[in-house]
Amino acid sequence: MATKIPAAQQRLFHRIFVCKNCGSKIRADPKKIIEGKVKCRKCKKRAFRTIKKK
């Protein structure tokens, strides 16, 4: 099994959220996601989840 490189993990999973409606990815501050200040670029909804690690 390959070792996990911290820089790669940071780049792939840190501050990335997925729209619950259309599935597009967006990079944003978690605090702004919780406050509802960030909208999806495609569908304009405000429902996001964190990206799942495989």
CATH number for the domain that contains residue 23? 2.20.28
Number of domains making up the chain: 1
Identify the CA nearest to 14 among candidates 54, 40, 51: 51
How confident is the model at residue 53, as a pLDDT? 83
H or E, element range at 17: strand 16-19
3-state secondary structure at position 36: coil
- DSSP β-bridge partners for residue 50: 17
* pLDDT tens digits for range 1-54: 567 899 988 888 999 999 999 999 999 999 999 999 999 999 999 999 999 987
In a domain, 2, yes or no: no
How confident is the model at residue 42, as a pLDDT? 96
In a domain, 3, yes or no: no
Boundaries of domain holding 33: 8-50
In a domain, 1, yes or no: no
